[in-house]
A = this chain, B = another copy of it.
Amino acid sequence: MPTETRQRQVDRSRETRRKLMAATVECLVERGWAGTTTTMVAERAGVSRGAQLHHFRTRGELVAAAVEHLGAESVLQLKERASRVGGSTAAVVELIADFYASDLFTAALELWVAARTDPELSAVVVPLQARIGRETHRLAVELLGADETRPGVREAVQITLDLVRGLALANQLTDDARRRERLVRHWAQMLEAVL
C-alpha cells in the first residue's frame, strides 16, 4: 500500500475515534451513564456500528477512553491557560476549580458512580481514576510552583484538589458558581500562606 494511502487511513481512523469519544462525553453529560448506549453514541458521531466495534469492543471501553482523552485534552488546555494568567496562587486555584466544575468532571462523575455498582466498568475506571488523580496532582504542584519537600505543602495541594472536587459536586444540580468563587478565593489565601 502506498505510504500516502496508509497515512490517509490512519488519519481517518484517528478521526473516527475522536468523533466517537466526543459524542460519548456529550452523551454522558446530556443523558447520564444509563442513557449513553453504544448505538446512540455511534448515531451522534455519524459512525457505523461496525467501525465503532472496530475501535471499542464494549461501552465501558468506549466511555473510559473518552474520559481519558478529554482528561488529557483538558490538562493541555489548563496548562495553556495557566501560562496566560501568570502564576499567582489565587489565579491558579481558580483555574483548577473551574477545570473541575466542567463537563469533564460531570462525565467522569457519571462514570465513577456507575462503576461503583458495575464490576466490569469498575475494572476500567479504577485504574483510570488513579491515573487522573496522579496527573492532576502533578499538574497542580507544577502550576502552583509548590515545593513538596516542605512540611504541609503536599497536604495543602491535596486539600486543594479534594476541595475543588467537593465544590464541583455541589455544582451538579444547581449553579453554585458564586459560592464557589468566594470559597476558592478564601482557600487560595490560606494556601498561599502555606506555600
Contact = CB atoms under 8 A, between A and B. Distances in A.
A179 to B, nearest CB: 7
B162 A166 contact: yes
Contacts of A190: 190, 194
Given A155-B182, A155-B183, A31 B117 contact: yes
Interface of A: 30-32, 34-35, 106, 109-110, 112-118, 122, 125-126, 129-130, 133, 152, 155-156, 158-159, 161-167, 169-170, 172-174, 179, 182-183, 186-187, 190, 194
B110 A30 contact: no
A95 B110 CA distance: 28
B162 A117 contact: no
Contacts of A114: 32
A76 to B, nearest CB: 24
Interface of A is mostly: helix
A25 to B, nearest CB: 14
Contacts of A130: 174
A164 to B, nearest CB: 7
B116 A186 contact: no
B174 A159 contact: no
Given A129-B173, A133-B170, 20 more contacts: A30-B117, A32-B114, A32-B117, A35-B117, A110-B113, A115-B173, A116-B172, A122-B173, A126-B173, A155-B183, A158-B179, A159-B163, A159-B187, A161-B166, A165-B165, A165-B169, A165-B170, A166-B167, A169-B169, A190-B190
